């Protein structure tokens, strides 16, 4: 199936991919590299095993975005099924999310805060959502004039977590304060 989203874990050992068929695959980077190495360089590469170490199935529509928790083995996913899902990838037998947040709109992008306590999400609606990972409480900017005019296609926290940036189909890029959830 066609891959629509991808993300590296913070340690760089794992890659997650999300597809049109609603599946999420977790791949081992070392196994991927060994699999792609020429045989004369690494004749034992078949002994390394398959690069896909887990496949997750809990969405019902195309995966649009993925992001790994900055410190823990948790993956957040976004989908056109209007859900944000959190997966604990330390549990080998777990194929389903341990937490699901349902939105009214298709979710296009997600990003973990650098501390891992919040996830920011953009949807086909112009209002950006900030979710508390523990309580699933949603926060939005209280000033309507700060919102984008069209869907938000991209969103990402700054490395220090004080700000986040958003890009919209309306052609605008906005910088936001994480604490007040207001646009500069």
Q: With helix as H, strand as E and coil as C, how does the chain read?
A: CCEEEEEECCCCCEEEEEECCCEEEEEEHHHHHHHHCCCCCCCCHHHHCCCEEEEEECCCCCEEEEEECCCCCEEEEEECCCEEEEEECCCCCCCCCCEEEECCCCEEEEEECCCCCEEEEEECCCCCEEEECCCCCEECCCCHHHCCCCCEEEEEECCCCCEEEEEECCCCEEEEECCCCEEC
Q: Would you place residue 20 in the very low, low, confident or very high pLDDT band (cuts 50, 70, 90)?
A: very high
Instruction: Look up residue 62 and give its two tokens.
Output: 């195309």
Residue 49 has a pLDDT of 79
Average pLDDT over residues 136-162: 96
pLDDT given at position 44 = 52
Length of the chain: 184
pLDDT of residue 45: 47
pTM, entire model: 0.89
Average pLDDT over residues 91-112: 94
Task: Region of 49 please: left (phi>0), alpha (psi -120 to 50) or beta.
Answer: left
Q: Report which of residues 88 and 44 the model is more confident about.
A: 88
Q: Domains along the chain?
A: 3-34+50-183 (2.130.10.10)
Q: Rounded to an integer, what distance in angstroms lies between the CA atom of residue 124 and that of residue 174?
A: 16
Q: In the predicted model, what is the mean pLDDT of residues 127-143?
A: 95
């Amino acid at each position: 199936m066609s891959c629509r989203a991808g993300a590296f874990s913070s340690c760089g050992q794992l890659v997650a991919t999300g597809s049109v068929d609603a599946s999420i695959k977790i791949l081992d980077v070392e196994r991927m590299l060994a699999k792609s190495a020429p045989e004369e360089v690494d004749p034992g590469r078949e002994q390394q095993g398959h690069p896909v170490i887990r496949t997750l199935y809990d969405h019902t529509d195309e995966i649009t975005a993925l992001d790994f928790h900055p410190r823990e083995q948790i993956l957040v996913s976004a989908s056109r099924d209007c859900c944000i899902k959190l997966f604990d990838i330390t549990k080998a037998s777990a194929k389903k999310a341990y937490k699901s947040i349902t939105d009214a709109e298709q979710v296009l992008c997600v990003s973990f805060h650098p501390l891992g306590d919040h996830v920011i999400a953009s949807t086909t609606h112009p209002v950006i959502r900030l979710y508390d990972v523990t309580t699933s409480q949603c926060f939005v900017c209280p000033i309507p004039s700060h919102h984008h005019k069209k869907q938000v296609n991209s969103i990402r926290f700054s490395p220090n977590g004080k700000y986040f940036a958003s890009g919209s189909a309306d052609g605008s890029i906005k910088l936001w304060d994480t604490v007040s959830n207001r646009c500069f």
